[in-house]
Structure 1
Amino acid sequence: MTSTTVSAPPETPRHPALAWIAVVAVACGTFSIVTTEMLPVGLLTLIGPDIGVSTGASGQMMTTASVAAVVSALAIMIVAGRVDRRVLLVGMMTVLLAANVVTAVVDSYALLLAARVLVGLAIGGFWAIGASLAVRLVPEQSVARASSIIISGISIASVAGVPAGTFIGDHSGWRTAFAAMAGLSLLVLIALAFLLPKLPSTGGLRTSDLTGLLRRGAVRAGLLSLLLIVIGHFAAYTYVTPVLSASAGLEGSTVAVLLLVYGVAGIAGTFIAGALAGRHLKAVVVGSALFLAAAMAAVPTLADGSFTAAAVLVVWGLGYGAVPVGLQVWTLRSAPEAPEGVSALFVACFQVAIGTGAVIGGLAVDRIGVAAPMWLGALAAAVTVALLLGTARSVLAKE
């Protein structure tokens, strides 16, 4: 196999504080992108009537962005060639800014979907580049911690960003929510332009490089683990509210508080994984999968009230919060000389898994029963544990 791109280090040494400020700037970009991606979830009932389409049709905003992100994650890394990665990140934020502006002003459903294609382009490109930047911004011993900060934007977006956008939409209109995201995108764009160092690339990524990575057993195992556990998570989590209602009789505001508890636990899990993954990677990835398997099996069997449901969701949040950090580091160690290629494949698999999980969960609910997605998710997490244990030696031997 031809050698994949190995990104060059920054041209001049930087003060450690500046490196961590740059990491936080990238995390803000992740937060902006994920909030924009997920924001329609809380605004569908407002968007559909305003532009003259059904709620189901407006829901295709999510699908459109996800599909575009899969293509973008792979294509941008090939097309980008030797372009400075700072320029690419600023470019992706510019695309996100344009998408939010267009979304806030258009009245056409077709143009709205076109704006969501731009969102997907930004998601795939930014995440594929940003997820691999920790190795270039901080010393090797701090890479896992820096990765957790960058990826924390995902959890924080779910816990704070999307609810805040939904609140703005409910009180000032859904267009105002996207206008606010446009303003945030502009601020992050400026921060990235001024706070990131030059990040030159030594060469371009080719299609053959990606296929070559997929021929490696350790890389395939890491990506398959990601697919399994994220599909299982979204199959189950998408339907956690009706399961809690059926098994524990919980409704309305109680469930909302429980989901907030889950979200806070997810943020904690992200940072805990970042602190531990550098020295205890196997424990982090296997432990997170075990937490998910246990939590998903416990929802229909043990969650019989608000206290037990909260305990189960804390375990679930801690486990899933650790998944992106742990498996990101795991896959990077599977091919340490090709961080951008591995990250592109990682992001593409993640986006595929999100959409697939929701579909599988829906089919399970319709054809088997409301608790079926929980058992499918627990099974997927258990298989992931076996897969990770079976391939740990080949991955950790590269350390």
Structure 2
Amino acid sequence: MQRTWTPRVATALAVLAAAAFIYVTAEIMPVGALSAIARDLHVSEAMVGTLLASYALVAALATMPLVRWTATWPRRRTLLWTLACLSISQLISALAPTFTVLAVGRVLCALTHGLMWSVIAPIGVRLVPPSHAGRATMAVYVGTGLALVVGSPLTAAMSELWGWRPAVGVIAVASVLVLVAARLALPVMALTDAAGGVRPRRIVHHRNRPLLMLSVLTLVGVTAHFISYTFIVVIIRDVVGVHGAHQAWLLAVYGVAGLTGMALLARPGDRRPKAAVMGCLAASSLAFAALAALGHLGWHTVAVAAAGAAAIVLWGATANAMPPMLQTAAMRHSPQDPDGASGLYVACFQVGIMAGSLTGGLLFQRAGVAAMLTASCVLMLGALACVVVSRGLFADHPATSEK
């Protein structure tokens, strides 16, 4: 019997995870370097904060057009192109004399962010048999978890010690190294339908009802998550009652919990995807409900800190395990065009990031942390109810609606 996880496949998946790691690290770099960038470029911290929302907006708008434009390209070439753009964008950012130039560099990175996520999971899935698609996607998403545990704290520390420009420069060098590794480790993966430069028949995804429902579900879930995640440091400080350096430790535990959750749910995500997603949504709802209750109480005791820390860990474990399962389900709903289905999923994900960040900011300013957490809980419960009553959204091999 042929082995699935050969050294060659494992190496290729590791390179894909490295690409995810470096892209997500670049995306969230301003979070850890907020003050350093503001001081150096003589702008407010609020202005620097707009780099995240604008990044998500550009990524959401550019994903589907770029997926269509590169439809005839071999998948490796597409990934290499996105990594090259990332490298150039980080070089521009590191040398930016003004905030405007920095924003331009971020836009170049954001333009290809969605395209990268649209092809990276389909590449991983093509490396393994269909029965292992979920596990391959989960392996790629390990890079995202590592970006939260290692990439973001590391760039934040470098920004404090040496300045934010060297930190961005390191990201640029690392992205070039990942580009070279991808060129050497990944197969070309030419599209048979695009042989000879002939563009494949366009799949009309707006007629694929299960895919649309799954994308809307993703948007709601991501919005629920980012309403609170945008202010997770405030939640840890004001609700859980953890201050100072201990906040960084709890954030690291949040990331480690995410990696653990992905590992534990890799196999169930392939065999019983609906049950796995329902479990994640239910656990996330429980975590938000617990944190909201603690926020309303306003107590600061050892017991409250322990309960709050446990809720943070549960939140991290479930929130990071869901995206690969949802993206795998999206690709299964369009076997003729997994890249396009993945692109639609990514676009909705980016809209969810933007909607969640903006909504969370409004709730935080006008109603407080407890109301913000309650909104996350309500939306997550709504997503759970939709999954419970749905049929065919998470079938192992759902039939596509395309004709």
TM-score by length of 2: 0.90
Aligned to 1:289: 281
Aligned to 2:366: 367
Aligned to 1:149: 139
Partners of 1:316 and 1:205 in 2: CA distance: 41
Matches of residues 163-312 of structure 1 in structure 2 within 5 Å?
A: 163-201=153-191, 202-203=193-194, 204=199, 209=203, 212-302=204-294, 304-312=303-311
Partners of 2:223 and 2:367 in 1: CA distance: 18
- Aligned-pair CA distance for 1:331: 1.6
CA distance 1:394–1:70, change in 2 (3 Å): closer
Quick check: 2:288–2:374 contact (8 Å CA) kept in 1? yes
What letter is aligned with 1:122? T
Q: Deviations over 1:202-230 (max 9, x none)?
A: 24478x63xx3123221122111111111
**One of 37, 49, 63 as aligned partner of 2:53:** 63
Partners of 1:292 and 1:271 in 2: CA distance: 17
What letter is aligned with 2:225? H
More deviation in 228-237 or 52-61? Answer: 52-61
Aligned to 2:324: 325
User: Which SS does the other structure have where 1:162 is aligned?
Assistant: helix
Aligned to 2:71: 81
Q: Deviations over 1:154-200 (max 9, x none)?
A: 12101110110111111111100011001100110000001000111
Q: Give identity over the alignment, percent.
A: 30
What letter is aligned with 2:128? V
Q: How much is the aligned-residue C-alpha RMSD, in angstroms?
A: 2.0
Aligned to 2:401: none
- Aligned-pair CA distance for 1:326: 1.5
Q: Deviations over 1:279-336 (max 9, x none)?
A: 0111111111111100001013258533212211121111101111121122222223
Quick check: 2:329–2:393 contact (8 Å CA) kept in 1? no
CA distance 1:262–1:178, change in 2 (3 Å): same
CA distance 1:205–1:314, change in 2 (3 Å): farther
- The gaps in structure 2 that reach 5 residues or longer are 296-302, 399-403
Aligned to 2:24: 34
What letter is aligned with 1:61? L
CA distance 1:244–1:54, change in 2 (3 Å): closer
CA distance 1:153–1:43, change in 2 (3 Å): same
- Aligned-pair CA distance for 1:109: 2.1
What letter is aligned with 1:216? N
- Aligned-pair CA distance for 1:14: 11
Partners of 1:307 and 1:65 in 2: CA distance: 35
1:342 aligns with 2:341: yes
Quick check: 1:233–1:357 contact (8 Å CA) kept in 2? yes
Partners of 1:392 and 1:159 in 2: CA distance: 36
What letter is aligned with 2:28? M
Matches of residues 98-113 of structure 1 in structure 2 within 5 Å?
A: 98-113=88-103
More deviation in 107-116 or 92-101? Answer: 107-116
Aligned to 1:16: 6
Partners of 1:213 and 1:158 in 2: CA distance: 32
- Aligned-pair CA distance for 1:276: 1.7
Partners of 2:381 and 2:119 in 1: CA distance: 30
Partners of 2:235 and 2:80 in 1: CA distance: 42
- Aligned-pair CA distance for 1:248: 4.1
CA distance 1:190–1:295, change in 2 (3 Å): same
CA distance 1:145–1:54, change in 2 (3 Å): same
Quick check: 1:218–1:391 contact (8 Å CA) kept in 2? no
Quick check: 2:63–2:346 contact (8 Å CA) kept in 1? yes
